[in-house]
Structure 1
Amino acid sequence: MDILKFTKWISTIAATILATTLTVTPMVSAKEVSTIADESIYDVLVDRYFNGTSANDFDANSQDPTKFTGGDFVGITKQLSQITKMGFTIISLGSIFPTEKYDGSLVTSYNGFNQHFGTEEEFVSLVNTLKNNKMKTMIDFPLSNVSENHEWVKDSTKADWILETSNGQVRWDLANEEVQQALIEEIAQFVSTYEVGGVRLTNIEGASTEFLDEIIEAIKEVDDTTYVISNGESDANFDASYFDDTYQIYRSIYKNVDQDSSLQLKNLEVYMSGEGKPTQLMFDHINSDRFVMDVEAHPPTRAKMALASTLLLPGLPVMQYGTEIAMNGAVGPESHQIYNFKTDTELVDFIKNIQTLRNSSDTLRSGDFQLIKNENGLLTFMRSSKDEKWIVVINNSGQTQRIDISADMVGEGKELQAMLETEVVRVNDEGIYPIVLDREIVEIYQVIDERGINVAYMIALGVVYIIFIAFIIVIMKKSKRKKNANNSI
């Protein structure tokens, strides 16, 4: 056996022995999802995800980013594993109604489906497939800014429903009671027929709070478990809040290291205090430039920092498709690229690891929040309940950082188990748990009962080293004897 083969053999033996000596950190099982704060949304454009069937590819042109490119409901069904392995619980499909544009805007009817996306049967199959995977379907319902070719526009009896027409877009008079009633009936009928798990109301400008609350109430009357959110600011009774500046705050913090992070909790404070609703957390969205546009270097690393904050801070994470492959581009078609399934999986794996923890722990999603430090990109906080404690550290700074956690905060007889790596942090003589984290690193620590030094681990490690050193000595002696024999000839 030569030294290379022996080294490989000894490494295999060591890994096996050491693996059997290490205990698995206990994890409290999560309860059934009960609020929207337990969810996470993957925001996709149907046309740009995956072309699952050529049956609906008429007038498709994958070389022209302004045209339909062939993505469809069947494609999402076929490539669903890419989303499920990242742990998202809601897929937001955008507007799926008949439309003149690939992104679902400029709808021509609130009935039926975009023929480029697929048939009613294919949509129902996708919804059922998601349910079987314990996921929900969310669709966009645009309250206004429809196509000038919308079927209501062509109805002369509805002329007074139109407030304004500009550049091929029609704005409904959302103060008109007939318009309000018609919109309510359309969305209620859709939810009743297709049993989707969520609706995002879009183009809500001009809609009063009272009218929006009526829509929400009508949807909830059909199924009170259906989530209703918006992509605009509103005082209406949505299940989650939206603030225009949230994504801008997050992208400004994480575009580089050592950025001012003082505003990071700005739109979260009410919810963290136990009041209000969770805020939608994102660093870009379907109608913005991609986050990578602002990044000065190392997009995957920057994305990791930003993703960790949106997935782990209290709120509702919303991630745009393609973020997991560091998709780039300015707002519009350039940012709506066709998904590339051959891209490196580094970010996919990172998201999966965090979401596995988040989805497995009620405390990590909705436990009490305690801010420990938030300064120039270094964010440290605790999530706790009567069952668990977690400490999250996001070091978005340009240097290694040390964060001292007091024993009073952690509890007696405890240690901190790093969940993304294998580090264990124990209390020192000063009653401090010193966490040391390299630059641009995220770590999630679970507070567990103190296990002390793993004697079996140390013995196994010692045996491995002794065997290896003995082998080296034997090889050296054998080499020396051979050399002496050659010299004596």
Structure 2
Amino acid sequence: MNVAKWISTAVASALLASTISTTTIAHAEETHKIENESIYDVLVDRFFDDSVENDYNINAKDPKAFHGGDFAGIATKINHIQDLDFTMVSMGSVFSSDTYDGSAVVDYSKIERHFGTSKEFKSLLSDLHKINMKAMVDFPINNVSKDHVWALEGDHKDWYTAASDNRINWNTNNPDVQQALINAAVDFVSKYNVDGIRLTHLGNADTAFINKMISALKQQNNNLYVISNENSDANFDIDYNKQTIDTYQSIFKSVDEDSSKVEDPYKEYAYGKSEKPPALMIDDLNSARFTHASAQENMFPPTRIKVALAAIMTMPGVPIVTYGTEIAQNGVKPTDTLASMDFRTKEDIISYIGDLQSIRNKSETLRTGKYKLLENKNGLMVYERYSDNEKWIVMVNNTAKTQRYELDPSVIGKNKELHGMFENDIVRQSENGKYNLVSEREIVELYQVTDHKGYNIPYMIALGFVYLLFIGFIVALLRRGRKHKNA
């Protein structure tokens, strides 16, 4: 037996027990706000192939072909998503389509047969809901297949215009087209118990029409989230800005980068100028992967990913994370960025995301609380998340050296303690009255502020228990050695 490993494991367990005992995270009441969600963005075809019954003409070697992923595959790997602790799965378009991503829709009234049956889709939704996880699907408004069933109907020649790659765009100025699209979306929501719809390929659809569709969807299901992955002035539940990806890739791709624009994606929301929370992303299904940006800088992608995700998951807004981020998936173009998920790859990013999400999911303050930036200089960012019930200090050290930050008691009060969630350190007031926060390079620490409690009794008890176990272990070894010697 490795004694050193045994001792380290025991001490770590004691520290964890102490942290849990002395630092209780406030649980949120169930409120229907999209700020409470964290979204895991997948494509059904690229996640996991579980059923051979729907493997029609698949070719895993062709990046443009169907690879075989299906609803049963997501259900089989549901524990993986659960380990990451996301609250919502966005699975792309599931409608009958010419393409693996579901965007070249052929029929809004049918489920893509490569993904499975209508029954299997309903079963997946039920499985997700059983573990309190929500489901979202894409509804492509434009850029659908030229063989769409509506386009093949003789009296619909004025419904569409030709696009590239055998696609068409709907004439969304036509009232009949508008109503057909709204009916198709509402019929889908009425048939399947989804929790969100993401409208994609908005094209030239005007804001009034999109708002009309959003209104009709929410009349069908008042708790339905409706978002988009494009910039729009419509009444979506989140503000989506593709510039966010460029902003956060430039800041977090390496150490000591200019972080002056870190607030740009969420500034209006955080300071009360907008009621719509922003989507916070380091990449998406249509962009180059964050891993590529960090690799270009000769940085270690898993470390870069952890720093970036810890930041966006503690900032005001809704974090959206692309599948494969947890295994540092790479690529610049969709032929590379949308590869099938490799579940054989094991990285500590997975457990890190799970731990981070667990804290976020238990703290309403980290999700919807107020925000104040305390420090932001070339990669060192310190900010406060607070409410009437809780207060957190987040220290993002995105630099190449250990950083120190003096926190003034005017921010959190006197006679307080700051409990680090990841490094298990406790910070108390120093002789000069300040709280001295210290963070090693490329580390994000979440400090929960509590009242000063003096000696950490649970920790001392836990540590004493570890010592007793260790002494007992040594005694057992000595007795065992004597027995062998006598024999």
Provide the TM-score with structure 1 as the length reference: 0.90
Preserved CA contact (<8 Å) 1:10 1:464: no
Q: Which residue, out of 343, 348, 351, partners 1:346?
A: 348
Partner of 2:373: 371
Match of 1:104 among 102, 105, 112: 102
Q: 2:137 is matched with which residue: 114, 136, 139? A: 139
Partner of 1:400: 402
Name 2:257's counterpart in structure 1.
259
1:478 aligned partner: none
* 8 Å CA contact retained: 2:35, 2:317: yes
Q: What's the CA shift for 1:104?
A: 1.2
Q: In structure 2, do the counterparts of structure 1 residues 83 and 15 end up closer, same or farther at CA, with 3 Å as the change threshold?
A: closer
Deviation at 1:213, TM superposition (A): 0.4
State how far apart, in whole Å, the 2-side matches of 1:126 and 1:268 are.
33
- CA apart distance, 1:345: 3.3
The residue that corresponds to 2:152 in the other structure is: 154
Whose radius of gyration is greater, 1 or 2? Answer: 1
**1: distance between equivalents of 2:22 and 2:29?**
21
User: How far does residue 16 in structure 1 lie from its aligned partner after superposition?
Assistant: 8.0
1:113 aligns with 2:111: yes
What is the one-letter code of the residue matched to 1:85?
D
Shift of 1:453: 3.5
Q: Report if aligned partners of 1:141, 1:202 keep a CA contact under 8 Å in 2.
A: yes
Q: Which amino acid aligns with 1:130?
A: L
- 1:276 aligned partner: 275
Greater mean deviation of Cα atoms: 224-233 or 338-347: 338-347
SS in 2 for 1:359: helix
Question: Do residues 324 (structure 1) and 326 (structure 2) align?
Answer: yes
Q: Distance in 1 between matches of 2:319 and 2:11?
A: 40
Contact persistence 1:148–1:170 (CA under 8 A): yes
Percent of aligned pairs with the same amino acid: 43
Compared CA separation, residues 18 and 370, structure 1 to 2 (3 A) = closer
Q: Does 1:231 align with 2:233?
A: no
Q: What is aligned with 1:285?
A: 284
Q: 2:360 corresponds to which letter in structure 1? A: R
- Hey, what does 1:411 align to over in structure 2? 413
Structure 2 CA distance for partners of 1:380 and 1:63, relative to 1, 3 Å? same
Distance 1:149 1:301 in 2: 46
Task: List aligned pairs for 1:424-435, cutoff 5 A.
Answer: 424-435=426-437
Is this contact kept in 1: 2:311–2:444, CA < 8 A? no
Shift of 1:112: 0.9
The answer to whether the Cα contact below 8 Å between 2:15 and 2:424 also exists between their aligned partners in 1 is: no
| Structure-to-structure mapping, 1:40-119, within 5 angstroms | 40-119=38-117
Q: State yes or no: 1:334 paired with 2:336.
A: yes
1:67-125 CA deviation, whole Å, 9 max, x = no partner? 11110000000100101111111100101111111111211111111110000000000
Q: Which amino acid aligns with 1:289?
A: A
Q: Classify 1:207/1:366 alpha carbon distance in 2 versus 1 (closer, same or farther; 3 Å).
A: same
| Separation in structure 2 between the aligned mates of residue 16 and residue 286 of structure 1, nearest angstrom | 39
Distance 2:126 2:172 in 1: 34
CA displacement 1:256-305 (0-9 Å, x = unmatched): 11111111111211211233200011011101111111112100011111
Instruction: Name the structure 1 match of 2:293.
Output: 294
**Which residue of structure 1 lines up, in the alignment, with residue 180 of structure 2?**
182
CA distance in 2, matches of 1:52, 1:462: 46
Larger displacement relative to structure 2 (16-25 or 234-243): 16-25
Q: Is the 8 A contact 2:10 2:466 kept in 1?
A: no
Tell me the SS of whatever aligns to 2:161.
strand
2:172 match: secondary structure: coil
Partner Cα separation in structure 2 for residue 12 and residue 331 of structure 1: 43
The change in CA–CA distance for 1:224 and 1:14 in structure 2 (over 3 A counts) is closer
Pair 1:17–1:406, CA change in 2 (3 A): closer
Number of the residue aligned with 2:161: 163
Q: Which amino acid aligns with 2:349?
A: L
Alpha-carbon spacing, 1:457–1:342, altered in 2? closer, same or farther (3 Å)? same
CA shift, 1:336, in A, is 0.9
Is the contact between residue 172 and residue 179 of structure 1 (CA under 8 Å) also seen in structure 2?
yes
What secondary structure does 2:109 align onto?
Answer: coil
Aligned residue-pair number: 466
Deviation at 1:195, TM superposition (A): 2.0
Query: What do residues 113-145 of structure 1 show as CA deviations (whole Å, max 9, x unaligned)?
Result: 111000000000011111111111100001000
Letter in 2 for 1:401: Q
Aligned counterparts of 2:458 and 2:45: Cα–Cα separation in 1: 55
Letter in 2 for 1:446: Q
2: CA distance between counterparts of 1:168 and 1:12?
59
The counterpart of 1:125, out of the listed 123, 147, 150, is 123
The SS at the match of 1:30 is coil
Cα distance change of structure 1 residues 457 and 185 upon mapping to structure 2, 3 Å threshold: closer
1:385 corresponds to which letter in structure 2?
S
Q: 1:145 to 1:433 in 2, by over 3 A?
A: same
Q: Structure 1: 5+ residue runs without aligned partners?
A: 476-489
1:242 to 225, 240, 243: 240
Distance between the aligned counterparts of 1:24 and 1:352, measured in 2?
21
Structure 1 pair 463–328 and aligned structure 2 pair: CA distance change class (3 A): closer
Counterpart secondary structure, 2:254: coil
Provide, for residues 145-172 of structure 1, a one-character-per-residue CA deviation record: whole Å limited to 9, x for no partner.
0011111111121110113333211011
Distance 1:372 1:322, change over 3 A: same
User: Residue 294 of structure 1 aligns to which amino acid in structure 2?
Assistant: A
Matched-pair contact (CA < 8 Å) for 1:242–1:280: yes
Aligned with residue 37 of structure 2, among 12, 36, 39: 39
2:482 alignment counterpart: none
The one of 440, 444, 447 aligned to 2:446: 444
Cα–Cα, structure 1 residues 59 and 367, in superposed 2: closer, same or farther, change >3 Å?
A: same
Q: 1:425 to 1:125 in 2, by over 3 A?
A: same
SS state of the match for residue 384, structure 2?
Answer: strand
Gaps of 5+ in 2: 479-487
Residue in 1 that maps onto 2:483: none
CA deviation string 1:202-241 (max 9, x = no partner): 0112011111100000000001100000011111110001
Q: What secondary structure does 1:81 align onto?
A: helix
In the TM superposition, residue 13 of structure 1 has moved relative to its aligned partner by 7.9
- The RMSD of aligned alpha carbons is 2.4
State the AA in 1 paired with 2:83: K
TM-score when scaled to structure 2? 0.91
